[in-house]
């Protein structure tokens, strides 16, 4: 049985009025490339009130209808190496919302959940010791989204250590948005 939440359930309700939420994902790039899987390689955190699963790959972010959410992604290792090179970067290629109503969490949802705002990111050549470089995917929760739990799959594009090939991986466990009514 899923627990229903209302804005009044949270002691710090004012934060639910925040215009934007951030979901930060750290990726263990070395492990993901070696295993060709994201299992045990993602660590997610957010600034939502009442969310659960902080630091795991199955984070549940509490948000409201119409709210903007920024999914920020970074590798765990962000420092320049002794040889002057930078470690590979991860990029969110897509967020795929799943149709849990059908009972199969692998089916893509038929109903649109987000309005994609824009993909942002800085190219590798802009990295320096003073500027944080990361990619992110931003979207707004549809204002007519029904309150409830919406699981999604992250589709990541990982740079490989050597060469120009990319590795595309899907999250194994499914994080979720818990949409509250406005």
- Look at residue 13 and tell me whether its pLDDT is greater than 80: no
Residues 6+ apart with CB under 8 A from 118: 138
Using alpha carbons only, give the angle 103, 155, 97 rounded to the nearest 5 degrees: 35
- Look at residue 4 and tell me whether its pLDDT is greater than 60: no
Whole-angstrom CA distances from 176 to 31, 59, 61, 81 are 24, 6, 6, 35
Higher pLDDT, 101 or 159: 159
- Look at residue 123 and tell me whether its pLDDT is greater than 70: no
What is the Cα–Cα distance from 155 to 171, expressed in whole angstroms?
Answer: 7
Give the DSSP H or E segment for 34: helix 29-35
> Which pLDDT band, with edges at 50, 70 and 90, does 85 fall under?
confident
> Which pLDDT band, with edges at 50, 70 and 90, does 130 fall under?
low
- Look at residue 44 and tell me whether its pLDDT is greater than 80: yes
Q: What is the pLDDT of residue 70?
A: 92
pTM of the model as a whole: 0.79
Q: Per residue in 65-75, pLDDT tens?
A: 999 999 999 99
What is the Cα–Cα distance from 40 to 107, expressed in whole angstroms?
Answer: 23
Domains of the chain: 20-179 (2.60.40.420)
């Amino acid at each position: 049985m899923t627990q229903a939440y209302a804005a009044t359930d949270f002691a710090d309700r004012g934060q639910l009025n925040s215009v934007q939420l951030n979901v930060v994902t750290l990726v263990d790039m070395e492990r993901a490339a070696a295993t060709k899987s994201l299992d045990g390689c993602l660590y997610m955190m957010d600034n939502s009130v009442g969310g659960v699963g902080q630091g795991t790959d199955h984070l549940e972010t509490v948000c409201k209808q119409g709210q903007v959410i920024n999914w920020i992604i970074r590798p765990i290792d962000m420092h320049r190496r002794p040889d002057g090179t930078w470690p590979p970067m991860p990029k969110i290629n897509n967020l795929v919302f799943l149709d849990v109503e059908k009972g199969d969490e692998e089916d893509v949802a038929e109903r649109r959940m987000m309005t994609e705002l824009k993909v942002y990111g800085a190219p590798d050549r802009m990295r320096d010791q003073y500027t944080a470089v990361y990619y992110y995917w931003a979207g707004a929760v549809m204002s007519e989204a029904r309150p409830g739990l919406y699981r999604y799959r992250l589709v990541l594009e990982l740079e490989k250590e050597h060469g120009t090939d990319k590795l595309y991986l899907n999250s194994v466990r499914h994080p979720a948005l818990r949409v509250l009514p406005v």
